[in-house]
Amino acid sequence: MNAFSELEIKYVDTPIEERKPFIDKPGSELATTREVDEEEEEDNSDTSIYSLKSSVKIESTTYRGFVTFLKGLIGTGILALPFVINKVGLIPAWILLFVIGYLNLYTMQLVHTVASDLKIPKIDFGRLSERVTGRKWFRYLAEINVHVMQIGSSIPGVVFFYQYFDRVSCIYGWKTFCGVKQTQILLILCFLLPIGAITDLHYLAIPSGIALVFQMLFYLTFLVISIDKISIDGVMAESFTTYNLAYFAIAFATILYAYEAIGMLLEIRSSVADDNKFGKVLYYSFIASTVTYLIFGTVGKLAYGDATQSVIFLNLNQNDKLLVFLEFGYLFGLLITIPAGLFPPTRIIESWQVFRDFIVDEVTGKKSKWKRQLIRQPLIILIVLIASAVPSFEMVVSLIGGLNFTILSFVIPVILYNIHFRNDETKRIRRICNWLILLSGVVLGSIATVESIQELSNTGNAP
C-alpha cells in the first residue's frame, strides 16, 4: 500500500472535527476534493435518506460552494426587482434589501450554528428539526416547506421563460412557438431533463458557473444600456421621494424570494463540509448578491420608471439580436440550474418508504442512478406543466415568498436555535430578538400572501 492510500484511509477513518489538517495540507488532493460515500459523514442516530449509500460523493471547494450558492441566490427573483422597486419606491426598497439580506444571512447562520453545535456535518432540514425538537410533526412541517420552496421557486423561472419567449417568438415570426404552448413546453423539457439526470450536487457547479457567466453578461449589458438611457433622459427628483407603502408587503415577499437559496443551505453545507469554509461561502455570497440586487433594481427603476415591465427583458430593444442572444443565454442559465434547487426535495422523496427499497441497487447496495430518474424526471415535467398555467410572473414570486419563504427563512431557523439553546442564559437576549424577527416575518409574509392571491385571482379572471 502506498503512502497516499494510507493517508486516504486515515482521513476517511478520522472524525470530522479532526480532518482539517488533512484538508488544509498544501498540495494535497484532499485540499480540493475527495471521494467518500455519503454514509461516512452522517449521524446514524436515525434512519433517513442519508442511510442509503449514494454514488461517489465529492467534497466541494470553497469556490465551488460559493458559485453554487451564489447562483442559487441570484436567480429568477432579481428580474422582478426593477418592477417592484418602482412600485414601492426607492427608499423603502433599499431598506428592505439591506434588512432582508442581513436577516436571511443571520437566520441561515442560526441553522448552521445549531447543526455545528450538534457536530452533524451532513443533515437535512427535516432530520435536524426532529433532532432538535423531538417532534415528528415538526420534521414533517420542515420537509413539506422544503418541498414547496424548492419546487415552487423553480416555477417562476419557467413562467418568466414562457412570457418572454412567447413575445419574442411572435416578434420574430416563429410560428412554431408563437402562442403555441405545447411546443414551448417541449423546448423547455429538452433543456431541463438532461441536466435533471445529474445526481450529485458537486457536478452542478459546472452548469451553475456557465449560467452565472450568462447572467453577469446580461447584467452588465443591461446596466450599460440603462445608465446610458439615464444619462440622456435624466432622472426626475421625485424618483427618490415617491413611495407606495400599500405595496410594502408584496415588495417584502418579492425581495425575500430573491434570496432564494435557504432550501439549499444544508445541501451545500454538507458538500463543502468544513465549517470555516462554509461560513465564508455564506458571508461572501450574501455580500455579492445584495450588491447585485441593489444596483440592478435601482438602475432599472431609474431608467424606465413607470414604464418598467414585470418581464424586464421587454424594456430592452428586442430587435437587437445581440441583446436577444444574451437574454436567451440568461434564460438557458435559469433553466439548467433548476435541478440544483430540486436536490433537497428529491432526496427527501427518495427517503420515503415507498421508494427506499425500489431505488436501491441490489448488487451495490447503493442508490441506483437510473431508478432515481423515475423520481426526478416526473417532478421536472410537473413543474413545467404547472408553470404553463400561471398567469403572472411577479405575483407568483410574491406569493411563494410570502407563503413559504417566510416559514423556512424566519420561523424554522428561529425555533431550531431557540429550542436548542434554550438553557443557555448567555443567549437569552439573542433568543428574544429571534422571536421578534419571527413575528415580523410572519405578519408581513401573511399580508403579502393574501394580497398576492387576490392579484393572481384578478389576473386569471381578466379577459
Closest CA to 343 of 213, 211, 215, 195: 195
How far apart, in whole angstroms, are the C-alpha atoms of residue 66 and residue 283? 9
Antiparallel, parallel or unpaired: β 35-36 and 57-58: antiparallel
pLDDT higher than 80, residue 74:
no
How far apart, in whole angstroms, are the C-alpha atoms of residue 193 and residue 377? 6
The per-residue pLDDT for 448 is: 81
**pLDDT tens-digit series, residues 168-206:** 999 889 999 998 999 999 998 988 888 878 777 667 777
How far apart, in whole angstroms, are the C-alpha atoms of residue 39 and residue 331? 36
The per-residue pLDDT for 434 is: 95
pLDDT higher than 60, residue 362:
yes
Amino acid identity for residue 128 in this structure: L
Neighbouring-strand partners of residue 42: 122
How far apart, in whole angstroms, are the C-alpha atoms of residue 64 and residue 415? 30
Phi and psi (nearest 5°) for 122?
A: -135, 120
The per-residue pLDDT for 54 is: 45
- Give the pLDDT band (50/70/90) at residue 145: confident
Task: Judge whether 36 and 57 are in contact, CB under 8 Å.
Answer: yes
Range 387-420 burial, b when 16+ CB lie within 10 A, else e: bbebbbbbbbbbbbbbbbbbbbbbbbbbbbbbbb
Most confident of the ranges 261-275, 299-313, 423-437: 423-437
What are 5's three cell numbers? 492510500
How far apart, in whole angstroms, are the C-alpha atoms of residue 260 and residue 404? 11
Neighbouring-strand partners of residue 366: 53
Share of the chain above pLDDT 70, in %: 79
The per-residue pLDDT for 71 is: 66
- What crossing angle do the helices spanning 90-117 and 275-304 adopt, rounded to 10°? 170
Amino acid identity for residue 125 in this structure: F
The per-residue pLDDT for 254 is: 85
Where are the alpha helices (H) located in 388-427, listed in sequence order? 393-400, 406, 412-420
Mean pLDDT across 241-267? 80
Amino acid identity for residue 46 in this structure: D
Mean pLDDT across 41-47? 41
How far apart, in whole angstroms, are the C-alpha atoms of residue 209 and residue 230? 31
Closest CA to 211 of 423, 13, 352, 67: 67
How far apart, in whole angstroms, are the C-alpha atoms of residue 135 and residue 275? 27
Domains with residue ranges and CATH for the chain: 60-461 (1.20.1740.10)
- Give the pLDDT band (50/70/90) at residue 399: confident
CA angle 49/55/56 to nearest 5° reads 115
| Burial class (CB within 10 angstroms; exposed 0-12, middle 13-18, buried 19+) of 280 | middle
Task: Judge whether 339 and 204 are in contact, CB under 8 Å.
Answer: yes
Closest CA to 93 of 300, 395, 402: 300
| Higher-scoring residue by pLDDT: 212, 250 | 250
Mean pLDDT across 285-295? 87
How far apart, in whole angstroms, are the C-alpha atoms of residue 312 and residue 78? 10
What are 209's three cell numbers? 458557473
Neighbouring-strand partners of residue 367: 360
Task: Judge whether 227 and 299 are in contact, CB under 8 Å.
Answer: yes
Task: Judge whether 332 and 200 are in contact, CB under 8 Å.
Answer: no
- Give the pLDDT band (50/70/90) at residue 10: very low
Mean pLDDT across 141-166? 83
The per-residue pLDDT for 456 is: 67
- Give the pLDDT band (50/70/90) at residue 9: very low
Determine which of 99-113, 126-140, 151-165, 418-432 has the lowest per-residue pLDDT on average: 151-165
Average pLDDT value for the chain? 77
Task: Judge whether 268 and 278 are in contact, CB under 8 Å.
Answer: yes
How far apart, in whole angstroms, are the C-alpha atoms of residue 423 and residue 27? 44
